[in-house]
Amino acid sequence: MQHLVLLHGAIGAKDQLEPLAEWLKDKYIVHTLNFSGHGGSAFPDEKFSISFFSKNVIDYLRRLNIQKANIFGYSMGGYVAMYIAKHYPEIADKIITLATKFYWDEAIAEKEVKMLDPEKINEKIPVFAKQLEQRHHPNDWKKILGKTKEMLLQLGIRNELQIDDYTTIRNPCLLLLGDKDKMTTLDETIAVCDALPNAGYKVLPATPHPIEQVDTRLLSDLITEFIN
> How far is CA 154 from its chain centroid?
17
Average pLDDT of the chain? Answer: 95
Q: What is the pLDDT of residues 98-156, one digit of tens each?
A: 999 999 999 999 999 999 999 999 989 999 999 999 999 999 999 999 999 999 999 99
Pick the CATH number of 3-103+161-227 from 3.30.479.10, 2.102.10.10, 3.40.50.1820, 3.40.50.970: 3.40.50.1820
pLDDT score for 139: 92
- Residue pair 80/54 in contact by the 8 Å Cβ criterion: yes
Q: Respond yes or no on whether the N-terminal peptide bond of residue 205 is cis (omega within 30° of 0).
A: no
User: Closest Cα to residue 7, out of 32, 40, 37?
Assistant: 32
**What is the SS3 assignment for 3?**
strand
- Amino acid letter at 55? K
User: Closest Cα to residue 5, out of 74, 99, 101, 89?
Assistant: 74
Strand ranges inside the chain, DSSP E: 3-7, 29-32, 69-74, 92-98, 173-178, 199-204
Residues 6+ apart with CB under 8 A from 224: 24, 27
Instruction: Express as a percent the part of the chain with pLDDT over 70.
Output: 100
Q: What is the pLDDT of residues 40-86, one digit of tens each?
A: 999 998 899 999 999 999 999 999 999 999 999 999 999 999 999 99
CA distance linking residue 207 with residue 201, whole number of Å: 15
